[in-house]
């Protein structure tokens, strides 16, 4: 059995609360989250790192250095605070141990490149991804026949854009040329233009809106898909395979393209109806 250590900004959040059992199940018991480090008490629930570890049966460690020393694999979380990733990721990415960094990897293309540069200088295998990338419904899509697509899903732009951008780029490729914001602050929407002229539209809605796509094909046919599969389960299997020795399922180049697109969209959101180049 290999041990996994959690590094988080604060531990009482959805991913940290669920990943331990999901990862254990996905690895058939070959992986166990045993150690945890939380920088601060949860600002949302008030739960301390000590209380969280007691509740979840984890061993609290006092520093990132200690957690790295005691763990076989490392999981940097902070899914709602990507601004903390440069601080929380530096030592793990210098460690040479296998590292998964939760979404959203970074707030800018420059930040993302700097983090991957640290990993590459230290021969640290790592990856980052949105769980939606691994949705079963995307697997059979013939990417070569895609003329464009329309994506929709729930959540605010800053925290949930990753869950639409990453599947879009997984299907359409990473050559986004420019983006435009066409929505409002309460109903964000926009368009991505790719280097070959194809377009992908996206929109954000309320929490009861499912993740879904309308795919337009080069033969003028249309396919509608709604994400109803257990994409977290498939995502955990990919994470488990990686921690157990397989290659990262997502390239650094793909993640940098996703982050660059999100960065441009956030910039475009304050200047609607104007193209922003990547």
pLDDT digit string (tens) for 110-121? 999 999 999 999
Three-state secondary structure call for residue 277: strand
- Closest Cα to residue 69, out of 40, 92, 39? 92
Beta-carbon contacts of residue 232 (< 8 Å; ≥ 6 apart):
18, 22, 131
C-alpha torsion angle, residues 264, 102, 237, 161 (rounded to 10) = -30
Alpha helices in the chain (DSSP H): 14-26, 49-56, 64-70, 85-94, 109-121, 157-160, 162-172, 231-243, 252-268
What domains are there in the chain, each with its CATH number?
2-128 (3.40.50.720), 132-231+262-277 (3.30.360.10)
Confidence label for 144 from pLDDT (cuts 50, 70 and 90)? very high
Distance CA 88, CA 5 (A): 13
Q: What is the pLDDT of residues 202-256, one digit of tens each?
A: 999 999 999 999 999 999 999 999 999 999 999 999 999 999 999 999 999 999 9
pLDDT digit string, tens, across residues 5-38: 999 999 999 999 999 999 999 999 999 999 999 9
d(CA 3, CA 24): 10
What single string gives the DSSP state of each residue in 201-212? Answer: EEEEE-TTPPPE
Q: What is the pTM of this model?
A: 0.97
Give the model's pLDDT for residue 61: 98
Closest CA to 266 of 139, 170, 181: 181
Q: Are strands 212-217 and 222-226 parallel, antiparallel or unpaired?
A: antiparallel
């Amino acid at each position: 059995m290999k041990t996994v250590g959690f590094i988080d900004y604060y531990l009482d959040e959805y991913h940290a609360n669920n990943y331990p059992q999901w990862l254990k199940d996905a690895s058939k018991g070959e992986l166990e989250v045993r150690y945890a480090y939380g920088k601060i008490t949860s600002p949302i629930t008030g739960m301390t790192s000590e209380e969280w570890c007691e509740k979840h049966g984890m061993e609290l460690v006092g520093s990132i250095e200690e957690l790295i020393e005691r763990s076989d694999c490392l999981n940097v979380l902070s899914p709602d605070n990507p601004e903390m990733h440069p601080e929380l990721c530096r030592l793990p990415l210098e460690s040479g141990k296998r590292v998964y960094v939760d979404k959203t990897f970074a707030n800018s293309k420059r930040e993302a490149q700097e983090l991957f540069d640290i990993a590459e200088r230290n021969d640290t295998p790592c990856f980052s991804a949105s769980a939606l990338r691994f949705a079963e419904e995307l697997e059979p899509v013939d990417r070569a026949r895609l003329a464009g697509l329309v994506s929709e899903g729930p959540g605010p732009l800053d925290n949930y854009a990753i869950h639409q951008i990453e599947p879009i780029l997984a299907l359409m490729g990473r050559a986004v040329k420019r983006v435009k914001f066409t929505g409002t602050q309460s109903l964000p929407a926009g368009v991505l233009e790719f280097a070959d002229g194809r377009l992908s539209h996206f929109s954000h809605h309320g929490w009861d809106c499912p993740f879904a796509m309308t795919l337009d094909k080069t033969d003028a046919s249309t396919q509608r898909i709604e994400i109803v599969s257990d994409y977290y389960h498939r995502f955990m299997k990919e994470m488990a395979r990686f921690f157990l020795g397989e290659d990262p399922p997502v390239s650094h180049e793909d993640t940098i393209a996703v982050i660059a697109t999100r960065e441009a969209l956030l910039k475009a959101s304050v200047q609607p109806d104007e193209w922003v180049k990547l």
